[in-house]
Amino acid sequence: MTNMANQQISARLQTLISNISDLSPEKVSQNKHFIKDLKFDSLKTVELIMAIYEEFGVEISKDESIKLQTVKNLLDLLEIKIKDRP
């Protein structure tokens, strides 16, 4: 996957997280922790997983979502899942 594709995924993900967390996109950097920094709870997490499926067509399992702590963790997982699609 090209760096441009990574940047597009990152920007789209940043917008999704921003919308769900009610924070400006500038405050949703890759080092932000979902619970500590972005104040995500289980409902917001489910909302984000559903939004990711709608936006990217990528499914994230409950087990995978539990392991995601930062925006960077999620971005890395998304890039792998998108790259590995048939």
* pLDDT in the model for residue 6: 85
pLDDT digits (tens, 9 = 90+) for 9-21: 999 999 999 999 9
Q: Which domains does the chain have, with CATH numbers?
A: 3-83 (1.10.1200.10)
Half-sphere exposure of 39 (CA within 13 A, CB side): 7
* pLDDT in the model for residue 54: 97
Give the pLDDT band of residue 75 (cuts 50, 70, 90).
Answer: very high
Closest among 68, 57, 51 to 14, alpha carbons compared: 51
pTM of the predicted protein model: 0.89
